[in-house]
Amino acid sequence: MAPRPPAPLFPAFPRLLHGGDYNPEQWLHQPEVIVADFRLMREAKCNAMSVGIFSWAMLEPEEGRFDFAWLDGIMSRLANQNMKAVLATPSGAKPAWLSLKYPEIRRMNDQGLRDPHRGRHNHCRTSPVYREKTAIINRMLAERYKDHPALLLWHVSNEYSGDPCHCPLCFEAFRQWLKQRYHGNLEELNQAWWSTFWSHRFSQWEEITAIDPSMHGMVLDWKRFITDQAVDFFRNEIEPLREFTPNVPVTINMMGTYMGLNYWKFAPYIDIASWDSYPAWHSEPDEFRVAADTAFNHDLNRSFKGQPFLLMESTPSQVNWQPICKPKRPGMHILSSLQAVAHGADSVQYFQWRKSRGSSEKFHGAVVDHDGSAENRVFQEVARLGSMLEKLAPVAGSDTPAEIAVVFDWENAWAIDGHQGFQNREKHYGDEVRAHYRELWRRNLAADVVDADADFSRYKLVIAPMLHMVRTGADRRLADYVRQGGILLLSFLSGMVNENDLCWLGGFPGGELAAVAGLRVTETDAFYPDQRQTVHAVNGNILGLRGEYDVQHYADLIQLKGAEAVMAYGQEFYANTPAVTVHAFGKGACYYLGARVKEPFLTDFYTGLVKRHSLRSAVQGQIPAGVSAQLRRAGNRTFLFLMNFTTEARAVTLPVGQTCRDLLEDRDISGTVKLPAYGVRVLAGAAG
């Protein structure tokens, strides 16, 4: 990727955002609290607050009676303090009058029962009434604040969920959706769903009234429909925003690899990707797994739009909903926040600014605790971070070069999740993908996280573990990629079904992947927990692997059709047959990992792979274990983030003769860079 000049998400506000979810409407009866909030925001160097997320009942206390006075006041205060509003549309939680008068807006479960009015995120997204009411309030907001100097960004709804509604309106919409997908041809649908099985054929569209988990094609289409319906609802929500504020970007706050919605389908319609990050720091003996898994989600969010994203929510301290809610240890808040920035975030935003006094989130971490004080540890660390983010303003809009792509594909996850076979207990698609990503993370190899529809051509290595679903055309694109010189990594269960969850005929992996991988998978073995299978290195293998490793859960039996074995199985009737292979194809190569092999196999495997294919990390030289190095780049400037995820001091030695600017300490630095426990340094230098 050629270097590009910085492209700040907000050209008129080119800095890193700092702030978070702010709910002043809970405190209108105590105006002194709001006065204190704005003083404390100044102290914490906050510049952007998300307002109005759950304010519908305060903005429209009765149907058609609106009250914007309090929000006007907050918007003015923000503007007066040179701060910005991330202004939300309030559809995430509905007012009680709406539920009472229009029961159709309440979600229905699959037994035909409607949710009572309670909680949030539980409305029907098909309901014309809900769509109309959200459009009205959104229009009022857009019209009212369109020229407001504080308005920076639209925060549309809150964490759209994928929990389905099974009401008659939704099923009618589903049938319409199906008619479109299958060109009004029910026979095409019957074929796609393989519905002759168990006499499940449909002879009229009206017969489709419930979801049948035994029909995998149907379940898949239902999940697709739920995503499309959410996207459609979102587009309905933003119509008035686009009309009145065409230049104000819109975002939705996503939830990492949440399985309910395929976030890739939102990517074309949002202007900026954002997500809510709540890692369980301090839950394991060291932080590496959590740090790497969090980095994976950051990279996914950066990849949605191929540009910086926003960290929309994070806790300054602890959450209230994990089984054990640990406060972040001193230093962890700054470290975890700057980790997001290192991976492409142009913000550090919190849930929440101030702890609410009552209800379910009263003990959720916040910048301002019930003590209202700026003296406590959490506030102090937030304020320190605020100053740091100001110093890091030049980072805003810089990109993150990556020559590796890791494929994480929602539809593939749904297909694996939904199928019955081989191994029904320990499928772990997401964990498998993350296990590969962790090997990149520990080597400081930058990666994008893409889905199987991505353009692979700009990557040197594409890692696609457990790519069970290969949609028609994806096999060809992967084949072309390898033919042109790309390195592809596939693993067990690959290429078994197409986009309808129908098995590829003619052997696995299906379509062109068989030729790319140079093999056929003839059977797949699975293991009870106390059964043993191993793999051992084949003499003289091209990755220089040695030794033996234990297999878990899955083992594909492989017949070579041009590939060569790297590892072979140790036991069973297929002992000494290939377990891991490599195949030179066109100008590139395809690796196939036939089994899930326990640690440290992947570590050794990637050591060989990185060396063989000269994959480059963000920094040359030795980075101590537990220190993560990430690079952002703008034009010919680079920003190197060095992050120590250990509880001990670490040191990184810069290449001889290299001088960088330490942005946080505002001084030139060369030689050895010291990192205290959980410490971060950000070094600006010249590219190359």
Pairing mode, strands 548-560 and 578-585: unpaired
Candidates 47, 89, 138, 158; binder of ligand GAL (CB under 6 A) is 158
Q: What's the helix, strand, coil split of the chain in %, to 5?
A: 30, 25, 45
Q: Which of these is catalytic: 60, 104, 287, 313? A: 313
Q: Which residues contact 12 (CB under 8 A, 6 or more apart)?
A: none
Touching ligand GAL, residues 274-303 (CB under 6 A): 276, 278
Q: How far is the CB of 159 from ligand GAL (least distance, A)?
A: 5
Name the residue with the smallest CB distance to ligand GAL: 351
| Biggest alpha carbon–alpha carbon distance for the chain | 78
Contact flag: residue 234 with ligand GAL (CB under 6 A):
no
For ligand GAL, give the closer residue by CB, 365 or 397: 365
For ligand GAL, give the closer residue by CB, 115 or 361: 361
Q: How far is the CB of 358 from ligand GAL (least distance, A)?
A: 15
| DSSP H/E element including 100 | helix 96-101
Touching ligand GAL, residues 364-383 (CB under 6 A): 364
Residues in contact with ligand GAL, shown as a per-residue x/- string from 607 to 636 under the rule CB under 6 A: ------------------------------
Query: C-alpha distances in angstroms, 600 versus 67, 77, 128, 440, 597?
Result: 61, 55, 54, 14, 8
| DSSP H/E element including 435 | helix 429-442
b/e per residue 476-500 (b: at least 16 CB within 10 A): ebbbbbbeeebbbbbbbbbbbbbbb
Q: How far is the CB of 12 from ligand GAL (least distance, A)?
A: 27
For ligand GAL, give the closer residue by CB, 110 or 163: 163
Contact flag: residue 161 with ligand GAL (CB under 6 A):
no
Candidates 233, 263, 351, 592; binder of ligand GAL (CB under 6 A) is 351
Touching ligand GAL, residues 402-441 (CB under 6 A): none
For ligand GAL, give the closer residue by CB, 217 or 279: 279
For ligand GAL, give the closer residue by CB, 313 or 439: 313
Q: How far is the CB of 363 from ligand GAL (least distance, A)?
A: 11
For ligand GAL, give the closer residue by CB, 257 or 400: 257
Contact flag: residue 313 with ligand GAL (CB under 6 A):
yes
CA distance linking residue 150 with residue 154, whole number of Å:
12
Residues in contact with ligand GAL, shown as a per-residue x/- string from 47 to 66 under the rule CB under 6 A: --------------------
Query: C-alpha distances in angstroms, 341 versus 74, 336, 439, 682?
Result: 28, 9, 21, 10
Q: Tokens standing for 549?
A: 């490793």
CA distance linking residue 539 with residue 198, whole number of Å:
50
Candidates 319, 396, 563, 629; binder of ligand GAL (CB under 6 A) is 319
CA quadruple 142, 146, 148, 152: dihedral sign: positive
Please classify residue 200 by burial: count the beta carbons closer than 10 Å to its beta carbon, then call 0-12 exposed, 13-18 middle and 19+ buried: middle
In the three-class reduction of DSSP (H, G, I as helix; E, B as strand; rest coil), residue 105 is classed as helix
b/e per residue 439-460 (b: at least 16 CB within 10 A): bbbbbbbbbbbbbbebebeebb
For ligand GAL, give the closer residue by CB, 156 or 567: 156
Q: Report which of 56, 78, 74 is spatially closest to residue 65, judged by C-alpha positions.
A: 56
For ligand GAL, give the closer residue by CB, 281 or 441: 281
Q: Can 648 be counted among the known catalytic residues?
A: no
For ligand GAL, give the closer residue by CB, 85 or 440: 85
Q: Report which of 640, 617, 558 is spatially closest to residue 593, judged by C-alpha positions.
A: 558
Q: How far is the CB of 262 from ligand GAL (least distance, A)?
A: 19
Q: How far is the CB of 318 from ligand GAL (least distance, A)?
A: 10
Contact flag: residue 159 with ligand GAL (CB under 6 A):
yes
Q: Which of these is catalytic: 104, 159, 411, 432? A: 159
Provide the edge-to-edge strand list for the sheet that holds 250-254: 310-313, 272-276, 250-254, 151-155, 84-88, 48-51, 17-22, 347-350
Instruction: Please count the residues of the chain.
Output: 688
Q: How far is the CB of 430 from ligand GAL (least distance, A)?
A: 18
Neighbours of 502 (CB within 10 A): 15
HSE on the CB side for 473, CA within 13 Å?
Answer: 5
Residues in contact with ligand GAL, shown as a per-residue x/- string from 491 to 530 under the rule CB under 6 A: ----------------------------------------
Q: Can 187 be counted among the known catalytic residues?
A: no
Q: How far is the CB of 251 from ligand GAL (least distance, A)?
A: 13
Query: C-alpha distances in angstroms, 222 versus 105, 239, 244, 330?
Result: 20, 25, 34, 45
For the stretch 498-505, contacts whose Cβ atoms lie closer than 8 Å and that sit 24 or more positions apart, written own/partner, are 498/469, 498/470, 498/471, 498/472, 499/411, 499/469, 499/471, 499/472, 500/192, 500/193, 500/217, 500/220, 501/216, 501/217, 501/219, 501/220, 501/415, 501/418, 501/419, 501/469, 502/192, 502/194, 502/217, 504/470
Rounded to an integer, what is the distance from CA 641 to the centroid of its chain?
Answer: 21
For ligand GAL, give the closer residue by CB, 230 or 580: 230
For ligand GAL, give the closer residue by CB, 255 or 493: 255
Contact flag: residue 258 with ligand GAL (CB under 6 A):
no
CA distance linking residue 464 with residue 433, whole number of Å:
8
Q: How far is the CB of 11 from ligand GAL (least distance, A)?
A: 28
Touching ligand GAL, residues 656-685 (CB under 6 A): none
Amino acid at position 374, single letter? A
For ligand GAL, give the closer residue by CB, 194 or 304: 304
CA distance linking residue 513 with residue 567, whole number of Å:
20
Q: How many chain residues interact with ligand GAL (CB under 6 A)?
A: 9
Q: How far is the CB of 114 from ligand GAL (least distance, A)?
A: 23
Q: How far is the CB of 53 from ligand GAL (least distance, A)?
A: 7
Q: How far is the CB of 92 from ligand GAL (least distance, A)?
A: 8
Instruction: List interacting residues with ligand GAL (CB under 6 A).
Output: 158-159, 276, 278, 313, 319, 351, 361, 364
Q: Which residues are catalytic?
A: 159, 313
